[in-house]
């Protein structure tokens, strides 16, 4: 499940998101109970039973296939809202499921992935994406999750520019849009928790991009990957290479500004976003300098 592809556009520049729409509050139905839900599906479409099945199914890949290792997991708040921000990579990115699985398993906290509305529109995939914790990456959705519901939300400010990178460009972070994620954190009064991830660049390396096919199919990008050459298009799209994934949680970034302000300094927002991008980039370089074989770990 892809839970964090976020690309900037005019319609949602405050968060750095793509062509997306907010999730509206459900209208109460006449005669329906107001105090409790009849199913485990919450207002965002997330189902804890589906998440439980996803965790069980992903456990083997998490433990044995990707051999995930965390550093600084204790820096993620165990209560209250926080906006998790990470680098994004791999033609079919594995960073979102790894981050969501690890935090839910170790901290017993749900994580909502803010992603492009494109995934919600896909048949079957869109429903599964929502049931597994995906939410359209609109500023109001992020605000409600962080400020009103005090949840953990995950966002990838590189958007599709991250996972669409060629393998020769790996671990070079793209710009973080206009810093909309910082403004949302300020407005919600929550910290940003940066996470540096290595290994995902090697799970599905892109050799070339076919822009003409991307336009025809309506996809953000159309990659030809190493996986396709080794396993063919179908299996090569579904199965990542077994690279070892390591994550480093950096110190939370708090913003000494009042929440719920109508406007925040655009220059300060962009400066804070760039500082966060630099901190993740420096952490990536340090982690790569101490890494052995990316597949053997």
pLDDT value at residue 98 = 96
Report in angstroms the alpha-carbon separations of 153 from 64, 143, 275, 297.
26, 10, 20, 29
> What is the SS3 assignment for 172?
coil
Residues 6+ apart with CB under 8 A from 281: 173
pLDDT for 51: 85
pTM to 2 decimal places: 0.84
For residue 48, what pLDDT is reported? 86
Q: Is residue 153 part of a domain?
A: yes
Domain that holds residue 86: 10-18+44-289
Q: Give a yes or no: residue 226 inside a domain.
A: yes
Residue 295 lies in a domain: no
55 lies in some domain: yes
Number of domains in the chain: 1
* pLDDT for position 173: 95
- The closest alpha carbon to 95, from 21, 30, 38, 171, belongs to 171
The predicted structure's pLDDT at residue 117? 61
Cα separation, 122 vs 124, whole angstroms: 6
**Helix (DSSP H) and strand (DSSP E) numbers for the chain:** 9, 9
Residue 23 included in any domain? no
Over its length of 297 residues, how does the chain's per-residue pLDDT go in tens digits?
A: 434 433 333 334 445 444 344 555 445 444 444 445 557 888 887 888 888 888 899 999 999 999 999 999 999 999 999 999 999 998 888 999 999 999 999 999 999 999 776 656 666 666 777 788 888 888 999 999 999 999 999 999 998 888 889 999 999 999 898 889 999 999 999 999 999 999 999 999 999 999 888 888 878 888 899 999 999 999 998 899 999 999 999 999 999 999 999 899 999 999 999 999 999 999 999 999 999 888 786
**What pLDDT sits at residue 161?**
86
Return the CATH number at 131: 3.40.1130
Taking the C-alpha atoms of residue 98 and residue 119, their distance in angstroms, rounded to an integer, is 18
**What is the pLDDT at residue 2?**
39
The answer to the question of residue 86 being in a domain is: yes
Does any domain span residue 294?
no
The answer to whether residue 77 is domain-embedded is yes
């Amino acid at each position: 499940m892809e839970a964090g592809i976020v690309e900037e556009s005019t319609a949602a520049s405050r968060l750095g998101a793509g062509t997306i729409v907010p999730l509206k509050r459900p209208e109460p139905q006449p005669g329906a109970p107001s105090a409790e839900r009849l199913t485990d599906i919450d207002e965002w479409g997330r189902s804890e039973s589906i998440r439980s099945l996803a965790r069980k199914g992903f456990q083997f890949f998490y433990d044995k296939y990707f051999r995930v290792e965390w550093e600084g997991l204790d820096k993620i708040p165990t209560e209250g809202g926080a906006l998790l921000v990470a680098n994004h990579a791999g033609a079919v990115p594995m960073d979102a499921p790894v981050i969501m699985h690890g935090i839910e398993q170790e901290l017993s906290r749900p994580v909502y992935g803010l992603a492009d509305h494109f995934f919600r529109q896909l048949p079957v995939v869109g429903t599964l994406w929502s049931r597994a914790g995906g939410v359209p990456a609109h500023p109001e959705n992020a605000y409600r999750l962080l400020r009103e519901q005090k949840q953990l939300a995950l966002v990838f400010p590189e958007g599709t520019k991250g996972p669409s990178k060629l393998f020769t460009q790996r671990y070079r972070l793209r710009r973080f849009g206009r810093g909309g994620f910082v403004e949302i954190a300020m407005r919600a009064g929550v910290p940003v928790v940066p996470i540096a991830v290595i290994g995902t660049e090697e799970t599905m390396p892109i050799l070339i991009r076919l822009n003409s096919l991307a336009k025809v199919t309506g996809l953000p990008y159309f990659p030809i990957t190493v996986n396709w050459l080794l396993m063919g298009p179908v299996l090569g799209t579904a199965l990542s290479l077994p690279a070892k994934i390591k994550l480093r949680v950096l110190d939370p970034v708090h913003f000494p500004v009042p929440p719920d302000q109508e406007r925040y300094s655009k220059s300060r927002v962009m400066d804070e976003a760039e500082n966060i991008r630099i901190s993740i980039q420096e952490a990536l370089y340090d982690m790569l300098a101490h890494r052995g074989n990316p597949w053997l770990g």
